[in-house]
Amino acid sequence: MIKMLHLTFVLLTLAAFGGKMFISVARPALLDHKAVKIAPHVISSLLLLTGIILVFQGNWRAGDYGWLVAKIIVLFGFIGLGIMAMRSEGTNRWLAFGGAIACFIYIGIVAVSKNAFFFL
Ligand code: HEM
């Protein structure tokens, strides 16, 4: 149940990030709209909250939680690059956007494979 919620917020986070990038290109004036400002924060807070609940639900005594640490470290990368993508302009903006999406994909694959080094 919580996992379904978590996955829902994963998709909503991606949609909100992509949507905000689209709005900033197509209709920048909308960025000042209250809903556009607040909704992404509500969604990502709920993603974090459901993730934390899942951590408490898990059985971590096996010591097999390296993937979770990797997930959280790369999450900081996703947040940082996401902020850069919203604040910078030109090529840097799109490089940051691409980097953020790469972090997001990495986090998703690590979550499913439970292996931080799935690419090796
Ligand atoms: C961009 C952010 C995130 C993405 C894309 C993401 C993605 C996913 C996905 C796809 C799963 C399902 C894996 C499966 O098939 O079993 C999952 C599960 C999980 N996630 Fe996240 N997640 C994110 C953020 C977080 C955060 C911030 C936390 C913790 C603070 C977290 C903790 C967990 C835990 C504990 C599970 C359950 C693993 C299990 O019991 O099988 N996630 N996540």
The pLDDT profile of the chain, 120 residues, written as one tens digit per residue, is 999 999 999 999 999 999 999 999 999 999 999 999 999 999 999 999 999 999 999 877 777 889 999 999 999 999 999 999 999 999 999 999 999 999 999 999 999 999 999 999
The reported pTM is: 0.91
Please tell me whether residues 90 and 50 are part of one structural domain.
no
Tell the residue nearest (CA) to atom 33 of ligand 1.
51
What is the spatial distance between Cα 21 and Cα 93, in angstroms, rounded to a whole number?
Answer: 10
Q: Tell me which of 30, 58, 86 is where a domain ends.
A: 58
Please tell me whether residues 107 and 92 are part of one structural domain.
yes
Tell the residue nearest (CA) to atom 5 of ligand 1.
108
Please tell me whether residues 4 and 47 are part of one structural domain.
yes
Please tell me whether residues 15 and 30 are part of one structural domain.
yes
Please tell me whether residues 7 and 41 are part of one structural domain.
yes
**Total domains in the fold of the chain:** 2
pLDDT of residue 78: 98
Q: Which of 73, 107, 115, 118 to mutate to test the pocket of ligand 1 (most atoms within 8 A of CB)?
A: 107
Q: Tell me which of 42, 58, 74 is where a domain ends.
A: 58
pLDDT of residue 9: 98
pLDDT of residue 82: 96
pLDDT of residue 59: 77
pLDDT of residue 93: 95
Q: Tell me which of 58, 84, 99 is where a domain ends.
A: 58
Q: 84 is in which domain, residue-wise?
A: 60-120
What is the spatial distance between Cα 116 and Cα 72, in angstroms, rounded to a whole number?
Answer: 11
Q: Which of 17, 73, 71 is nearest to 44 (CA)?
A: 17
What is the spatial distance between Cα 116 and Cα 63, in angstroms, rounded to a whole number?
Answer: 14
